[in-house]
A = this chain, B = another copy of it.
């Protein structure tokens, strides 16, 4: 493979081009003040050597890395993938690079803390944290030092900014949709804030709004489901209560699990039951599944998150703010008028 440790330094380039390292630095950074012919020679030498400037050495003295760090909880979830893509694109457009660190599969908080430190240690100039799970305290510790934005999750803290899809608006929108379809007894899968800072408020709002409208709400705390019976158990309970005509899941993957469990029993939505998801992320938005869900505008979210950090990094803004953006209903085929 490679001969170990032979990375050419700026001095190697300088020697090869027959100039001093200052000239090389100025040439490559384009700060001017170098004769055209000299530049030519320098560039040639650098290319021949395959020279790539050591970002660490550069960052040390320049005190700028032009890099923003993204922490992503679970890369295998397309939700974060789309968010990341949007961020990456915007950052590039504004002249920044993005390096990402992810939690390892075991969603241990200590892993996430480590990942955050990796990023900060790398001297990123800004931090975008994408996780509904990391305790805000861990984030705050770094936010003192680096402009930080929480993306995809609401926050109230003044020490950092956040950009998120309005969970109250979304939960309410989904609830209104089912109510207007005619459902009156509905199961809502709920989560506690410790499990997810996005799914908790949205499911709480679904339940609250339904009750406000006058519906019967059967709450199904996710922890109980995970602990005993699993999704199949949940569906069994669901079907046992003949008055329930719809079930609201906290996310699309969760809704998919429910649909699969129904399928295993030879049932399908919306005939047996209406089922709703949440997030609206490809590829689960395929018309073939026809999932009724709430779309989070991930591209917009990523763009705004980057804009927010960058404007802090560049000192254009000093105060933090919390932007909520609205999602939108996708009325699919998994939810219809009550059929049972």
Contacts and interface: CB of A to CB of B under 8 A. Distances in A.
A101 B70 CA distance: 10
A59 B259 CA distance: 50
Given A1-B312, A78-B78, A288-B260, A121 B52 contact: yes
A203 interface: no
A245 B283 CA distance: 26
B111 A102 contact: no
A148 interface: yes
Nearest to A147: B1
Contacts of A148: 1-2
B118 A102 contact: no
Given A55-B122, A287-B260, A60 B63 contact: no
Interface stretch (A85-93, A185-193, A210-218, A323-331): A85-93
A133 interface: no
Nearest to A283: B284
A6 interface: yes
B263 A287 contact: yes
A232 interface: no
B78 A76 contact: yes
A337 interface: no
A141 interface: yes
Contacts of A253: 283
A13 B50 CA distance: 39
A243 interface: no
A84 B123 CA distance: 23
Contacts of A144: 2-3, 6, 50
A54 B56 CA distance: 9
B263 A288 contact: yes
A53 B115 CA distance: 14
Given A76-B84, A99-B101, 13 more contacts: A1-B148, A3-B144, A52-B117, A52-B120, A52-B121, A55-B56, A76-B78, A76-B85, A77-B78, A81-B81, A100-B102, A122-B122, A283-B284
